[in-house]
Structure 1
Amino acid sequence: MKVAPDKTCMQFSIRRSKLPSSETHPEESMYKRLGVSAWLNHLNELGQVEEEYKLRKAIFFGGIDVSIRGEVWPFLLRYYSHESTSEEREALRLQKRKEYSEIQQKRLSMTPEEHRAFWRNVQFTVDKDVVRTDRNNQFFRGEDNPNVESMRRILLNYAVYNPAVGYSQGMSDLVAPILAEVLDESDTFWCFVGLMQNTIFVSSPRDEDMEKQLLYLRELLRLTHVRFYQHLVSLGEDGLQMLFCHRWLLLCFKREFPEAEALRIWEACWAHYQEADV
Protein backbone atom coordinates (compact mmCIF):
# COMPACT_ATOMS: atom_id res chain seq x y z
CA MET A 1 0.00 0.00 0.00
CA LYS A 2 1.31 3.47 -0.90
CA VAL A 3 0.16 6.84 0.39
CA ALA A 4 -0.16 9.56 -2.25
CA PRO A 5 2.22 12.54 -1.81
CA ASP A 6 -0.56 14.91 -0.82
CA LYS A 7 -1.98 12.30 1.56
CA THR A 8 -5.48 12.94 0.29
CA CYS A 9 -6.01 9.37 -0.84
CA MET A 10 -4.52 5.92 -0.47
CA GLN A 11 -3.58 3.70 -3.39
CA PHE A 12 -3.70 -0.06 -3.16
CA SER A 13 -1.66 -2.37 -5.34
CA ILE A 14 -3.35 -5.72 -5.96
CA ARG A 15 -1.31 -8.66 -7.16
CA ARG A 16 -3.01 -11.57 -8.84
CA SER A 17 -1.71 -14.84 -7.47
CA LYS A 18 -0.69 -17.54 -9.92
CA LEU A 19 -1.12 -21.12 -8.86
CA PRO A 20 1.85 -23.42 -9.39
CA SER A 21 1.24 -26.18 -11.94
CA SER A 22 1.22 -28.73 -9.12
CA GLU A 23 -2.01 -27.18 -7.77
CA THR A 24 -3.89 -26.84 -11.05
CA HIS A 25 -5.97 -29.46 -12.80
CA PRO A 26 -3.85 -31.48 -15.25
CA GLU A 27 -6.30 -30.62 -18.07
CA GLU A 28 -6.46 -26.92 -17.22
CA SER A 29 -4.67 -25.67 -20.34
CA MET A 30 -5.96 -28.26 -22.81
CA TYR A 31 -9.23 -26.52 -23.72
CA LYS A 32 -9.76 -23.27 -25.58
CA ARG A 33 -12.78 -21.06 -25.15
CA LEU A 34 -15.85 -22.53 -26.85
CA GLY A 35 -16.27 -20.59 -30.08
CA VAL A 36 -18.81 -20.63 -32.88
CA SER A 37 -17.23 -23.45 -34.89
CA ALA A 38 -16.72 -25.68 -31.86
CA TRP A 39 -20.30 -25.07 -30.76
CA LEU A 40 -21.69 -25.89 -34.19
CA ASN A 41 -19.66 -29.10 -34.20
CA HIS A 42 -21.67 -30.22 -31.18
CA LEU A 43 -24.98 -29.79 -33.05
CA ASN A 44 -26.30 -32.40 -35.43
CA GLU A 45 -28.45 -31.71 -38.49
CA LEU A 46 -31.57 -31.49 -36.28
CA GLY A 47 -29.97 -29.02 -33.92
CA GLN A 48 -29.58 -31.51 -31.07
CA VAL A 49 -26.50 -31.30 -28.86
CA GLU A 50 -24.22 -34.30 -29.22
CA GLU A 51 -21.47 -35.40 -26.85
CA GLU A 52 -22.96 -33.39 -24.03
CA TYR A 53 -20.35 -34.53 -21.50
CA LYS A 54 -17.50 -33.33 -23.71
CA LEU A 55 -19.31 -30.01 -24.20
CA ARG A 56 -19.72 -29.49 -20.45
CA LYS A 57 -16.07 -30.38 -19.95
CA ALA A 58 -14.96 -27.89 -22.60
CA ILE A 59 -17.09 -25.15 -21.01
CA PHE A 60 -15.80 -25.95 -17.54
CA PHE A 61 -12.17 -25.58 -18.56
CA GLY A 62 -12.37 -23.04 -21.37
CA GLY A 63 -15.52 -20.99 -20.96
CA ILE A 64 -17.78 -19.70 -23.73
CA ASP A 65 -17.06 -17.02 -26.30
CA VAL A 66 -19.14 -13.91 -25.66
CA SER A 67 -20.61 -14.06 -29.17
CA ILE A 68 -22.51 -17.31 -28.44
CA ARG A 69 -23.33 -16.98 -24.76
CA GLY A 70 -26.90 -16.02 -25.56
CA GLU A 71 -27.31 -19.26 -27.50
CA VAL A 72 -25.50 -21.61 -25.10
CA TRP A 73 -26.57 -20.29 -21.71
CA PRO A 74 -30.22 -21.44 -22.11
CA PHE A 75 -28.91 -25.01 -22.35
CA LEU A 76 -26.77 -24.63 -19.24
CA LEU A 77 -29.71 -23.13 -17.33
CA ARG A 78 -32.02 -26.00 -18.33
CA TYR A 79 -34.36 -23.87 -20.41
CA TYR A 80 -33.50 -26.03 -23.41
CA SER A 81 -32.74 -29.73 -23.17
CA HIS A 82 -29.73 -31.04 -25.04
CA GLU A 83 -31.95 -33.58 -26.80
CA SER A 84 -34.28 -30.92 -28.21
CA THR A 85 -34.26 -30.13 -31.93
CA SER A 86 -34.19 -26.63 -33.35
CA GLU A 87 -37.88 -26.92 -34.22
CA GLU A 88 -38.77 -28.16 -30.73
CA ARG A 89 -36.90 -25.27 -29.14
CA GLU A 90 -38.75 -22.74 -31.29
CA ALA A 91 -42.06 -24.35 -30.33
CA LEU A 92 -41.00 -24.24 -26.68
CA ARG A 93 -40.13 -20.56 -26.95
CA LEU A 94 -43.60 -19.78 -28.30
CA GLN A 95 -45.25 -21.81 -25.54
CA LYS A 96 -43.12 -20.23 -22.81
CA ARG A 97 -43.72 -16.76 -24.21
CA LYS A 98 -47.44 -17.37 -23.83
CA GLU A 99 -46.96 -18.63 -20.28
CA TYR A 100 -44.85 -15.60 -19.44
CA SER A 101 -47.53 -13.31 -20.79
CA GLU A 102 -50.11 -15.07 -18.60
CA ILE A 103 -47.91 -14.61 -15.52
CA GLN A 104 -47.57 -10.93 -16.28
CA GLN A 105 -51.29 -10.58 -16.86
CA LYS A 106 -51.93 -12.19 -13.48
CA ARG A 107 -49.71 -9.55 -11.89
CA LEU A 108 -51.40 -6.70 -13.72
CA SER A 109 -54.85 -8.03 -12.82
CA MET A 110 -54.36 -7.90 -9.05
CA THR A 111 -57.09 -6.38 -6.95
CA PRO A 112 -56.25 -3.04 -5.31
CA GLU A 113 -55.69 -4.83 -2.00
CA GLU A 114 -53.45 -7.47 -3.60
CA HIS A 115 -51.51 -4.78 -5.41
CA ARG A 116 -50.89 -2.83 -2.19
CA ALA A 117 -49.53 -5.95 -0.52
CA PHE A 118 -47.41 -6.79 -3.56
CA TRP A 119 -46.02 -3.27 -3.72
CA ARG A 120 -45.13 -3.38 -0.05
CA ASN A 121 -43.56 -6.86 -0.08
CA VAL A 122 -41.98 -6.98 -3.54
CA GLN A 123 -42.30 -4.05 -5.91
CA PHE A 124 -40.94 -1.36 -3.60
CA THR A 125 -37.62 -3.23 -3.25
CA VAL A 126 -37.45 -4.23 -6.92
CA ASP A 127 -37.98 -0.65 -8.05
CA LYS A 128 -35.11 0.51 -5.85
CA ASP A 129 -32.74 -2.25 -6.93
CA VAL A 130 -33.12 -2.31 -10.72
CA VAL A 131 -32.18 1.33 -11.21
CA ARG A 132 -28.80 0.73 -9.58
CA THR A 133 -27.95 -2.68 -11.02
CA ASP A 134 -25.16 -2.89 -13.63
CA ARG A 135 -25.64 0.70 -14.74
CA ASN A 136 -22.01 0.81 -15.90
CA ASN A 137 -22.89 -1.87 -18.44
CA GLN A 138 -23.75 -0.25 -21.79
CA PHE A 139 -26.80 -2.50 -21.99
CA PHE A 140 -28.37 -0.83 -18.94
CA ARG A 141 -26.82 2.62 -19.17
CA GLY A 142 -28.77 5.86 -19.51
CA GLU A 143 -32.08 7.29 -18.41
CA ASP A 144 -35.33 5.56 -19.40
CA ASN A 145 -33.41 2.53 -20.64
CA PRO A 146 -35.98 -0.06 -21.80
CA ASN A 147 -33.66 -2.89 -20.72
CA VAL A 148 -33.92 -1.72 -17.12
CA GLU A 149 -37.69 -1.89 -17.42
CA SER A 150 -37.40 -5.42 -18.88
CA MET A 151 -35.31 -6.47 -15.88
CA ARG A 152 -37.92 -4.95 -13.58
CA ARG A 153 -40.77 -6.86 -15.24
CA ILE A 154 -38.82 -10.13 -15.08
CA LEU A 155 -38.25 -9.77 -11.33
CA LEU A 156 -41.83 -8.69 -10.59
CA ASN A 157 -43.22 -11.53 -12.68
CA TYR A 158 -40.91 -14.02 -11.00
CA ALA A 159 -42.29 -13.01 -7.63
CA VAL A 160 -45.78 -13.80 -8.95
CA TYR A 161 -44.58 -17.06 -10.53
CA ASN A 162 -42.80 -18.20 -7.35
CA PRO A 163 -44.39 -16.38 -4.40
CA ALA A 164 -42.65 -18.70 -1.91
CA VAL A 165 -39.34 -17.09 -2.91
CA GLY A 166 -40.67 -13.73 -4.06
CA TYR A 167 -37.89 -11.19 -4.34
CA SER A 168 -34.83 -10.51 -2.21
CA GLN A 169 -32.11 -7.94 -2.74
CA GLY A 170 -29.40 -9.33 -4.96
CA MET A 171 -31.66 -11.18 -7.37
CA SER A 172 -31.39 -8.27 -9.81
CA ASP A 173 -27.63 -8.91 -9.89
CA LEU A 174 -28.32 -12.45 -11.08
CA VAL A 175 -30.90 -11.51 -13.71
CA ALA A 176 -29.02 -8.60 -15.29
CA PRO A 177 -26.13 -10.55 -16.91
CA ILE A 178 -28.55 -13.15 -18.28
CA LEU A 179 -30.74 -10.48 -19.87
CA ALA A 180 -27.68 -8.72 -21.31
CA GLU A 181 -26.59 -11.95 -23.03
CA VAL A 182 -29.89 -13.67 -23.89
CA LEU A 183 -31.58 -10.34 -24.81
CA ASP A 184 -35.15 -11.66 -25.02
CA GLU A 185 -37.30 -10.90 -21.94
CA SER A 186 -39.31 -14.12 -21.92
CA ASP A 187 -36.26 -16.31 -22.59
CA THR A 188 -34.37 -14.54 -19.82
CA PHE A 189 -37.24 -15.11 -17.40
CA TRP A 190 -37.22 -18.87 -18.00
CA CYS A 191 -33.43 -18.99 -17.83
CA PHE A 192 -33.67 -17.26 -14.46
CA VAL A 193 -36.26 -19.82 -13.36
CA GLY A 194 -33.76 -22.51 -14.30
CA LEU A 195 -31.00 -20.73 -12.41
CA MET A 196 -33.05 -20.60 -9.24
CA GLN A 197 -34.19 -24.21 -9.54
CA ASN A 198 -31.30 -26.19 -10.91
CA THR A 199 -27.91 -24.79 -10.01
CA ILE A 200 -26.09 -25.52 -6.77
CA PHE A 201 -24.10 -22.33 -7.23
CA VAL A 202 -26.91 -19.98 -6.28
CA SER A 203 -28.25 -19.93 -2.77
CA SER A 204 -31.81 -18.73 -2.45
CA PRO A 205 -32.43 -15.99 0.12
CA ARG A 206 -33.95 -18.41 2.65
CA ASP A 207 -31.90 -18.77 5.84
CA GLU A 208 -31.82 -22.57 5.73
CA ASP A 209 -30.39 -22.55 2.21
CA MET A 210 -27.69 -20.07 3.16
CA GLU A 211 -26.78 -22.17 6.19
CA LYS A 212 -26.48 -25.24 3.97
CA GLN A 213 -24.06 -23.39 1.69
CA LEU A 214 -22.08 -22.16 4.70
CA LEU A 215 -21.89 -25.71 5.99
CA TYR A 216 -20.27 -26.79 2.71
CA LEU A 217 -17.85 -23.86 2.89
CA ARG A 218 -16.87 -24.57 6.48
CA GLU A 219 -16.14 -28.17 5.61
CA LEU A 220 -14.03 -27.13 2.62
CA LEU A 221 -12.05 -24.78 4.84
CA ARG A 222 -11.60 -27.48 7.45
CA LEU A 223 -10.12 -29.79 4.83
CA THR A 224 -8.08 -27.34 2.77
CA HIS A 225 -7.17 -24.41 5.07
CA VAL A 226 -6.85 -25.87 8.53
CA ARG A 227 -5.16 -22.88 10.17
CA PHE A 228 -7.79 -20.44 8.93
CA TYR A 229 -10.57 -22.79 9.98
CA GLN A 230 -9.07 -23.11 13.45
CA HIS A 231 -8.87 -19.32 13.64
CA LEU A 232 -12.60 -19.07 12.87
CA VAL A 233 -13.33 -21.69 15.53
CA SER A 234 -11.28 -19.71 18.06
CA LEU A 235 -13.53 -16.68 17.42
CA GLY A 236 -16.55 -18.64 18.55
CA GLU A 237 -20.01 -18.54 17.03
CA ASP A 238 -19.44 -15.16 15.37
CA GLY A 239 -16.46 -16.49 13.42
CA LEU A 240 -18.27 -19.59 12.19
CA GLN A 241 -21.22 -17.52 10.96
CA MET A 242 -18.81 -16.21 8.30
CA LEU A 243 -20.79 -13.03 7.68
CA PHE A 244 -18.01 -11.78 5.41
CA CYS A 245 -18.86 -14.34 2.73
CA HIS A 246 -22.67 -14.14 2.66
CA ARG A 247 -22.55 -11.78 -0.34
CA TRP A 248 -20.17 -14.17 -2.14
CA LEU A 249 -22.82 -16.89 -1.99
CA LEU A 250 -25.90 -14.77 -2.63
CA LEU A 251 -24.42 -12.95 -5.63
CA CYS A 252 -22.26 -15.81 -6.91
CA PHE A 253 -19.03 -13.77 -6.51
CA LYS A 254 -20.33 -11.21 -8.99
CA ARG A 255 -19.12 -8.22 -6.99
CA GLU A 256 -15.85 -9.83 -5.93
CA PHE A 257 -14.44 -10.21 -9.46
CA PRO A 258 -14.43 -8.17 -12.67
CA GLU A 259 -17.55 -9.01 -14.67
CA ALA A 260 -15.74 -11.08 -17.30
CA GLU A 261 -14.17 -13.29 -14.66
CA ALA A 262 -17.36 -13.57 -12.62
CA LEU A 263 -19.35 -14.75 -15.65
CA ARG A 264 -16.58 -17.22 -16.44
CA ILE A 265 -17.02 -18.65 -12.93
CA TRP A 266 -20.78 -18.84 -13.48
CA GLU A 267 -20.34 -20.80 -16.71
CA ALA A 268 -17.96 -23.26 -15.10
CA CYS A 269 -20.47 -23.93 -12.31
CA TRP A 270 -23.44 -24.13 -14.68
CA ALA A 271 -21.58 -26.75 -16.73
CA HIS A 272 -21.95 -29.20 -13.81
CA TYR A 273 -18.83 -31.02 -14.97
CA GLN A 274 -17.89 -34.11 -12.93
CA GLU A 275 -21.16 -34.10 -11.02
CA ALA A 276 -22.99 -37.35 -10.48
CA ASP A 277 -26.43 -35.80 -11.02
CA VAL A 278 -26.82 -33.16 -13.71
Structure 2
Amino acid sequence: MQFSIRRPTLPSTETHPEERLYRRLDVSTWLRHFNPSGQVEEEYKLRKAIFFGGIDPAIRGEVWPFLLRYYSYDSTSEEREALRLQKRTAYQDIQQRRLSMSPEEHSEFWRKVQFTVDKDVVRTDRSNHFFRGENNPNVEIMRRILLNYAVFNPDMGYCQGMSDLVAPLLTEVQDESDTFWCFVGLMENTIFISSPRDEDMERQLMYLRELLRLMLPRFHQHLTFLGEDGLQLLFCHRWILLCFKREFPDAEALRILCTGASVLPPE
Protein backbone atom coordinates (compact mmCIF):
# COMPACT_ATOMS: atom_id res chain seq x y z
CA MET A 1 0.00 0.00 0.00
CA GLN A 2 1.21 3.51 -0.83
CA PHE A 3 0.05 6.98 0.04
CA SER A 4 -0.90 9.67 -2.45
CA ILE A 5 -0.67 13.45 -2.24
CA ARG A 6 -4.04 15.18 -2.20
CA ARG A 7 -4.50 18.91 -2.58
CA PRO A 8 -7.92 19.81 -1.18
CA THR A 9 -9.43 23.18 -1.97
CA LEU A 10 -8.72 25.39 1.02
CA PRO A 11 -9.85 28.92 1.81
CA SER A 12 -7.19 31.57 1.28
CA THR A 13 -6.95 32.05 5.04
CA GLU A 14 -5.54 28.52 5.37
CA THR A 15 -3.00 28.59 2.54
CA HIS A 16 0.41 30.20 2.26
CA PRO A 17 0.09 33.64 0.61
CA GLU A 18 2.52 32.55 -2.14
CA GLU A 19 0.92 29.14 -2.69
CA ARG A 20 -0.39 29.82 -6.21
CA LEU A 21 2.19 32.33 -7.40
CA TYR A 22 4.63 29.74 -8.76
CA ARG A 23 4.23 27.18 -11.52
CA ARG A 24 6.31 24.07 -11.97
CA LEU A 25 9.86 24.95 -12.99
CA ASP A 26 10.11 24.14 -16.70
CA VAL A 27 13.03 24.33 -19.13
CA SER A 28 12.41 27.90 -20.30
CA THR A 29 11.99 29.27 -16.77
CA TRP A 30 15.07 27.38 -15.61
CA LEU A 31 17.21 28.83 -18.40
CA ARG A 32 16.00 32.36 -17.66
CA HIS A 33 17.61 32.12 -14.22
CA PHE A 34 21.12 32.02 -15.77
CA ASN A 35 23.12 35.09 -16.72
CA PRO A 36 25.49 35.06 -19.75
CA SER A 37 28.28 33.60 -17.57
CA GLY A 38 26.09 30.70 -16.49
CA GLN A 39 25.55 31.90 -12.91
CA VAL A 40 22.13 31.42 -11.33
CA GLU A 41 20.44 34.72 -10.60
CA GLU A 42 17.68 35.19 -8.02
CA GLU A 43 18.60 31.91 -6.37
CA TYR A 44 16.13 32.42 -3.50
CA LYS A 45 13.28 33.01 -5.94
CA LEU A 46 14.32 29.86 -7.83
CA ARG A 47 14.23 27.74 -4.68
CA LYS A 48 10.82 29.13 -3.77
CA ALA A 49 9.52 28.24 -7.23
CA ILE A 50 10.76 24.68 -6.72
CA PHE A 51 9.30 24.50 -3.22
CA PHE A 52 5.83 25.58 -4.32
CA GLY A 53 5.70 24.29 -7.89
CA GLY A 54 8.16 21.42 -8.21
CA ILE A 55 10.49 20.64 -11.12
CA ASP A 56 9.72 19.44 -14.63
CA PRO A 57 11.06 15.85 -14.79
CA ALA A 58 12.98 16.75 -17.96
CA ILE A 59 15.37 19.02 -16.02
CA ARG A 60 15.57 17.31 -12.62
CA GLY A 61 19.01 15.94 -13.44
CA GLU A 62 20.27 19.48 -14.16
CA VAL A 63 18.66 21.15 -11.14
CA TRP A 64 19.45 18.65 -8.40
CA PRO A 65 23.23 19.22 -8.42
CA PHE A 66 22.49 22.83 -7.42
CA LEU A 67 19.92 21.91 -4.77
CA LEU A 68 22.29 19.34 -3.25
CA ARG A 69 25.24 21.75 -3.23
CA TYR A 70 27.35 19.92 -5.75
CA TYR A 71 27.33 23.17 -7.74
CA SER A 72 27.16 26.58 -6.10
CA TYR A 73 24.54 28.93 -7.50
CA ASP A 74 27.12 31.63 -8.25
CA SER A 75 29.44 29.30 -10.20
CA THR A 76 29.96 29.99 -13.90
CA SER A 77 29.53 27.38 -16.62
CA GLU A 78 33.30 27.12 -16.98
CA GLU A 79 33.79 26.73 -13.22
CA ARG A 80 31.22 23.94 -13.09
CA GLU A 81 32.88 22.06 -15.92
CA ALA A 82 36.25 22.40 -14.19
CA LEU A 83 34.68 21.21 -10.93
CA ARG A 84 33.19 18.17 -12.67
CA LEU A 85 36.60 17.15 -13.97
CA GLN A 86 38.18 17.70 -10.55
CA LYS A 87 35.46 15.72 -8.78
CA ARG A 88 35.63 12.94 -11.36
CA THR A 89 39.34 12.53 -10.62
CA ALA A 90 38.65 12.59 -6.87
CA TYR A 91 35.96 9.92 -7.31
CA GLN A 92 38.35 7.71 -9.27
CA ASP A 93 40.92 8.11 -6.48
CA ILE A 94 38.33 7.01 -3.90
CA GLN A 95 37.47 3.97 -5.99
CA GLN A 96 41.14 3.11 -6.43
CA ARG A 97 41.59 3.20 -2.65
CA ARG A 98 38.81 0.63 -2.36
CA LEU A 99 40.22 -1.59 -5.07
CA SER A 100 43.73 -1.40 -3.59
CA MET A 101 42.81 -2.70 -0.14
CA SER A 102 45.00 -5.38 1.36
CA PRO A 103 43.40 -8.83 1.80
CA GLU A 104 42.90 -8.08 5.51
CA GLU A 105 41.33 -4.68 4.82
CA HIS A 106 39.09 -6.13 2.13
CA SER A 107 37.94 -8.92 4.43
CA GLU A 108 36.90 -6.40 7.08
CA PHE A 109 35.29 -4.13 4.47
CA TRP A 110 33.30 -7.05 3.06
CA ARG A 111 32.09 -7.97 6.54
CA LYS A 112 31.15 -4.45 7.63
CA VAL A 113 29.97 -2.91 4.35
CA GLN A 114 30.00 -4.91 1.14
CA PHE A 115 27.95 -7.87 2.32
CA THR A 116 25.01 -5.60 3.21
CA VAL A 117 25.37 -3.41 0.11
CA ASP A 118 25.33 -6.47 -2.15
CA LYS A 119 22.11 -7.66 -0.54
CA ASP A 120 20.41 -4.26 -0.72
CA VAL A 121 21.17 -3.10 -4.25
CA VAL A 122 19.58 -6.13 -5.93
CA ARG A 123 16.33 -5.36 -4.08
CA THR A 124 16.22 -1.60 -4.64
CA ASP A 125 13.77 -0.14 -7.17
CA ARG A 126 13.86 -3.21 -9.42
CA SER A 127 10.40 -2.34 -10.73
CA ASN A 128 11.84 0.92 -12.06
CA HIS A 129 12.80 0.47 -15.72
CA PHE A 130 16.17 2.11 -14.98
CA PHE A 131 17.13 -0.82 -12.73
CA ARG A 132 14.96 -3.59 -14.17
CA GLY A 133 16.30 -6.85 -15.57
CA GLU A 134 19.15 -9.23 -14.95
CA ASN A 135 22.72 -7.93 -15.14
CA ASN A 136 21.48 -4.34 -15.38
CA PRO A 137 24.62 -2.12 -15.44
CA ASN A 138 22.84 0.61 -13.45
CA VAL A 139 22.56 -1.74 -10.47
CA GLU A 140 26.33 -2.20 -10.55
CA ILE A 141 26.82 1.58 -10.77
CA MET A 142 24.63 2.05 -7.69
CA ARG A 143 26.65 -0.63 -5.92
CA ARG A 144 29.94 1.11 -6.72
CA ILE A 145 28.61 4.47 -5.52
CA LEU A 146 27.58 2.99 -2.17
CA LEU A 147 30.82 1.06 -1.68
CA ASN A 148 32.88 4.10 -2.59
CA TYR A 149 30.86 6.28 -0.24
CA ALA A 150 31.73 3.92 2.62
CA VAL A 151 35.41 4.46 1.76
CA PHE A 152 34.92 8.23 1.45
CA ASN A 153 33.08 8.45 4.79
CA PRO A 154 34.24 5.49 6.91
CA ASP A 155 32.61 6.91 10.05
CA MET A 156 29.19 6.58 8.42
CA GLY A 157 30.04 3.58 6.25
CA TYR A 158 26.89 2.05 4.82
CA CYS A 159 23.51 2.00 6.52
CA GLN A 160 20.48 0.16 5.23
CA GLY A 161 18.29 2.64 3.40
CA MET A 162 21.10 4.48 1.64
CA SER A 163 20.40 2.53 -1.55
CA ASP A 164 16.87 3.95 -1.52
CA LEU A 165 18.35 7.46 -1.50
CA VAL A 166 21.00 6.86 -4.17
CA ALA A 167 18.58 5.18 -6.59
CA PRO A 168 16.46 8.26 -7.47
CA LEU A 169 19.57 10.44 -7.72
CA LEU A 170 21.18 8.03 -10.19
CA THR A 171 17.93 7.70 -12.14
CA GLU A 172 17.79 11.46 -12.68
CA VAL A 173 21.46 12.52 -12.84
CA GLN A 174 22.58 9.43 -14.83
CA ASP A 175 26.30 9.92 -14.28
CA GLU A 176 28.24 7.89 -11.73
CA SER A 177 30.62 10.58 -10.45
CA ASP A 178 28.00 13.35 -10.45
CA THR A 179 25.52 11.11 -8.62
CA PHE A 180 28.15 10.23 -6.02
CA TRP A 181 28.85 13.88 -5.22
CA CYS A 182 25.14 14.74 -5.19
CA PHE A 183 24.69 11.92 -2.67
CA VAL A 184 27.56 13.36 -0.61
CA GLY A 185 25.74 16.70 -0.63
CA LEU A 186 22.49 15.05 0.44
CA MET A 187 24.19 13.24 3.32
CA GLU A 188 26.14 16.28 4.49
CA ASN A 189 23.22 18.69 4.46
CA THR A 190 20.36 16.59 5.79
CA ILE A 191 19.87 14.42 8.85
CA PHE A 192 20.19 10.77 7.86
CA ILE A 193 18.79 8.51 10.53
CA SER A 194 21.03 5.46 10.61
CA SER A 195 19.11 3.59 13.30
CA PRO A 196 15.61 3.77 14.81
CA ARG A 197 17.32 4.17 18.20
CA ASP A 198 19.36 7.11 17.04
CA GLU A 199 18.84 10.29 19.05
CA ASP A 200 18.19 12.12 15.77
CA MET A 201 15.27 9.79 15.14
CA GLU A 202 13.84 10.61 18.55
CA ARG A 203 14.17 14.32 17.80
CA GLN A 204 12.23 13.92 14.55
CA LEU A 205 9.55 11.91 16.34
CA MET A 206 9.31 14.61 18.98
CA TYR A 207 8.61 17.18 16.25
CA LEU A 208 6.03 14.85 14.71
CA ARG A 209 4.27 14.32 18.06
CA GLU A 210 4.00 18.08 18.50
CA LEU A 211 2.63 18.51 14.98
CA LEU A 212 0.04 15.81 15.67
CA ARG A 213 -0.92 17.51 18.92
CA LEU A 214 -1.47 20.81 17.11
CA MET A 215 -2.92 19.63 13.79
CA LEU A 216 -4.69 16.36 14.67
CA PRO A 217 -5.54 16.65 18.36
CA ARG A 218 -8.06 13.79 18.36
CA PHE A 219 -5.54 11.39 16.82
CA HIS A 220 -2.89 12.57 19.27
CA GLN A 221 -5.33 11.95 22.10
CA HIS A 222 -5.93 8.43 20.78
CA LEU A 223 -2.18 7.73 20.72
CA THR A 224 -1.86 9.07 24.24
CA PHE A 225 -4.68 6.76 25.34
CA LEU A 226 -2.72 3.80 23.93
CA GLY A 227 0.14 4.65 26.26
CA GLU A 228 3.87 4.71 25.62
CA ASP A 229 3.64 2.28 22.69
CA GLY A 230 1.26 4.58 20.82
CA LEU A 231 3.51 7.61 21.16
CA GLN A 232 6.51 5.60 19.90
CA LEU A 233 5.01 6.16 16.43
CA LEU A 234 6.56 2.95 15.13
CA PHE A 235 4.52 3.20 11.94
CA CYS A 236 6.37 6.45 11.11
CA HIS A 237 9.96 5.23 11.48
CA ARG A 238 10.36 4.18 7.84
CA TRP A 239 8.90 7.49 6.67
CA ILE A 240 11.75 9.31 8.39
CA LEU A 241 14.46 6.75 7.63
CA LEU A 242 13.84 6.85 3.88
CA CYS A 243 12.41 10.36 3.38
CA PHE A 244 9.02 8.82 2.45
CA LYS A 245 10.72 7.01 -0.44
CA ARG A 246 8.68 3.79 -0.09
CA GLU A 247 5.45 5.41 1.04
CA PHE A 248 4.57 7.22 -2.20
CA PRO A 249 4.63 6.39 -5.91
CA ASP A 250 7.92 7.34 -7.56
CA ALA A 251 6.74 10.64 -9.04
CA GLU A 252 5.36 11.88 -5.73
CA ALA A 253 8.34 10.63 -3.73
CA LEU A 254 10.60 12.61 -6.08
CA ARG A 255 8.42 15.69 -5.57
CA ILE A 256 8.85 15.37 -1.80
CA LEU A 257 12.62 15.01 -2.19
CA CYS A 258 12.77 18.09 -4.45
CA THR A 259 10.71 20.13 -2.00
CA GLY A 260 12.91 19.11 0.91
CA ALA A 261 16.12 19.87 -0.99
CA SER A 262 14.84 23.30 -2.05
CA VAL A 263 14.76 24.52 1.55
CA LEU A 264 18.46 23.81 2.11
CA PRO A 265 20.06 27.25 2.54
CA PRO A 266 22.82 28.20 0.10
CA GLU A 267 26.40 27.88 1.24
TM-score where L is the length of structure 1 = 0.89
Would you say the 8 A contact 2:4–2:249 is kept in 1?
A: no
Would you say the 8 A contact 2:4–2:252 is kept in 1?
A: no
Pair 1:204–1:85, CA change in 2 (3 A): farther
CA–CA separation in structure 2 for the residues paired with 1:29 and 1:60: 11
CA–CA separation in structure 1 for the residues paired with 2:186 and 2:258: 11
The residue that corresponds to 1:224 in the other structure is 215
1:211-250 equivalences in 2 (<5 Å) = 211-250=202-241
Pair 1:20–1:261, CA change in 2 (3 A): same
The residue that corresponds to 1:203 in the other structure is 193
> Larger RCO: Structure 1 or Structure 2 (Cα < 8 Å, ≥ 6 residues apart)?
2
Q: Which amino acid aligns with 1:19?
A: P
CA–CA separation in structure 1 for the residues paired with 2:194 and 2:116: 17
CA–CA separation in structure 2 for the residues paired with 1:105 and 1:234: 56
How big is the shift at 1:99?
Answer: 0.9
The residue that corresponds to 1:125 in the other structure is 116
The residue that corresponds to 1:266 in the other structure is 257
The residue that corresponds to 2:161 in the other structure is 170
2:3 equivalent to 1:20: no
The residue that corresponds to 1:147 in the other structure is 138
CA RMSD across the alignment? 2.0
Q: Which amino acid aligns with 1:253?
A: F
Number of aligned positions between the proteins: 263
Structure 1 gaps of 5+ residues are 1-11
Q: Percent identity?
A: 74
The residue that corresponds to 1:112 in the other structure is 103
2:48 equivalent to 1:57: yes
CA–CA separation in structure 1 for the residues paired with 2:93 and 2:228: 47
CA–CA separation in structure 1 for the residues paired with 2:171 and 2:246: 17
How big is the shift at 1:204?
Answer: 4.1
The residue that corresponds to 1:69 in the other structure is 60
Runs of 4+ residues over 3 Å off in structure 1: 14-18, 202-206
Per-residue deviation, residues 62-117 of structure 1 (Å, max 9, x unmatched):
11111111110000001100011111111111111111111111111111111111
How big is the shift at 1:25?
Answer: 2.7
* Range that drifts further, 25-34 or 157-166: 25-34
Match of 1:86 among 65, 70, 77: 77
CA–CA separation in structure 2 for the residues paired with 1:261 and 1:95: 34
How big is the shift at 1:17?
Answer: 4.9
TM-score where L is the length of structure 2 = 0.92
Would you say the 8 A contact 1:130–1:148 is kept in 2?
A: yes
